[in-house]
A = this chain, B = another copy of it.
Amino acid sequence: MSVTSQVPKGSLNGLFNAKSMAIVGASPNRDKPGNQVIRYAKAMDFDGQIYPVNPTQTAIEGLKCYKNIMDIPGRLDLVVLIVGADECVKIAQEIARRRDEKGDIAGIVVVSGGFSEGGSAKGLAKEKAMLEPLQARGIRVIGPNCLGIADQYSGVNTTFDVPPYLKGGVSVVSQSSAIAASFLTWAKDMELIGLSKFFTVGNMADVGVDEALEFLGEDENTKVIALYMEGIRQGRRFVEVAQKVSQTKPVVAFKSGRTAFGSGAARSHTGAVAGNDKIYDGAFRQAGIIRATTIAEFYYTVCAMGKQPLPRGNRICVLTVIGGPGTICIDALLATGVVEMARLSDNTKAHLRKILAPTAVVGEPQGYVDMTASVTKEMHEEIVKTILADEGVDGLIYLNTPPPFLGDEKLVESFLKAYNFFPEEERKPLLCVFTFGSNVAELRRLFERGGIPTMEFPDVAASVMANMVQYSEWRKFTKKAFLSRFNIFMKGGSNNGL
């Protein structure tokens, strides 16, 4: 569907670092997206200009309103369209005219739907008609049918669903706006992550997942990439890009459209062709992409990757105050086929037995310590430190359901002392499970602020740890032998229907 452009494509930097943006379809009605976009843009740490465009208004949200794109004074970098599809086609012409006259506008974000996603010839024709004058001038297009972009560092925000966020190292690329925005709203509330860039691609008329990934791979503020996708067009390029990015940054993906019906829904959603799911599985594995199978696993893997070091091996210890969840965690760890239970050294075991009550279970089964409810918050420091110091342990999962009489702050303090006792380069991943809900929300926030990822469910924590192990092994493997093998694959392989 992509029209071959006559001129070089512009850089996405022009959009993410825009110093001025116009919102076409700006609305004075606070119940409309066209209003919310302006309020969110204003709420950011953005030191550029925001220009609402609406021929019937003189001002919206305290900002001067313009009748059209041409009237906007000075340099205009970015245009956001929240109007009907037909209107978008017309405005694309206007944008092209302005570019010809003034030489500005690096790119546009098309929030509106009604294009190729419906699968109709009419919608596809509109998408092409909108795209053509822009691509011919190297003006980049994000969408249509998307939420747009947000950058916590530059302060650009074209969305009506991603409020200002804590700055951090997680970036999100998504074909679904809802999945991405919900993740962020939730993660913000729980203080789980800090955000760098939010990047929804919608129908990918111009900018696709591969280019988004490449862009974030080069973004110095991005440490981890969360990727939600339904389908891609240029499979080989996607694998090439992802393989490169994965060398230095984890890419955690959730791919939907696994079944034929799901794939049909994906097509109606963003026009994506989901293709054979097994092929994606293989491509992800080759590219070093971590594929999550549930949404909870997807989110929490991103959060943990953003905060914690990678495990150096696959030997994991489970430390619990609660036997049931501990058992569930072990089951889930071993079911991944990736993790081994750590073999605690005799010294470690002896030391733990000295601290813990006689009813505690130490190393039976291997790698499992059930401290039982008699443990005090003060004991935690020494126990956690002892386990993390054991050379036979590559990572630790801790589980508890804090009873009402256990003080939150003391527990956090005890943990952070143990965790921060080790110099940064010697740290091992530590995940904490606190069951469940708002009962433990404040405790979880305290841990999260201290840099320790928390989860609600023991089985989810197990998947997250297994994902970290798998990515760590891929990184080690790829450093040694993978590159040559990959090159052979890329030369010999076909597009594989991707």
B-contacting residues of A (Cβ < 8 Å)?
30-33, 36, 113-114, 117-119, 160-161, 174-179, 181-183, 185-186, 189-190, 228, 230, 254, 256-262, 264-266, 268-270, 294-296, 318, 321-328, 330-331, 334-335, 341, 358-359, 361, 364-368, 370, 372-373, 401, 403-405, 435-439, 441, 457-460
Contacts and interface: CB of A to CB of B under 8 A. Distances in A.
Given A178-B324, A437-B189, A358 B114 contact: yes
Nearest to A123: B359
A261 B368 CA distance: 9
A438 B438 contact: yes
Given A178-B322, A256-B327, A296 B296 contact: yes
A31 to B, nearest CB: 4
A323 B265 contact: yes
Contacts of A330: 259, 261-262, 265
A368 B177 CA distance: 19
What are the 9 closest A-B residue pairs judged by CB atoms, nearest first? A176-B324, A269-B323, A264-B365, A178-B322, A186-B437, A262-B331, A182-B435, A186-B436, A179-B324
| Copies in the assembly, this chain | 2
Contacts of A364: 119, 264, 268
A322 B145 CA distance: 12
B257 A361 contact: no
A127 to B, nearest CB: 13
A370 B230 CA distance: 15
Nearest to A368: B265
Contacts of A160: 403
Contact of A31 (B260, B405, B439): B405
B186 A256 contact: no
A325 B176 contact: yes
A295 B330 CA distance: 14
Contacts of A296: 296, 457, 460
Contacts of A117: 359
Contact of A324 (B161, B230, B341): B230
A422 to B, nearest CB: 27
A203 to B, nearest CB: 11
A423 to B, nearest CB: 32
B262 A328 contact: yes
A181 B436 CA distance: 10
A370 B271 CA distance: 13
B179 A326 contact: no
30 contacts: A32-B405, A33-B373, A33-B403, A36-B405, A113-B359, A113-B372, A118-B359, A119-B364, A161-B401, A179-B322, A182-B401, A185-B436, A185-B437, A186-B437, A189-B438, A228-B324, A259-B334, A261-B366, A261-B367, A262-B330, A264-B368, A265-B327, A265-B330, A268-B368, A269-B324, A269-B326, A269-B327, A295-B458, A296-B296, A438-B438
A119 B325 CA distance: 19
Contacts of A438: 186, 189-190, 438, 441
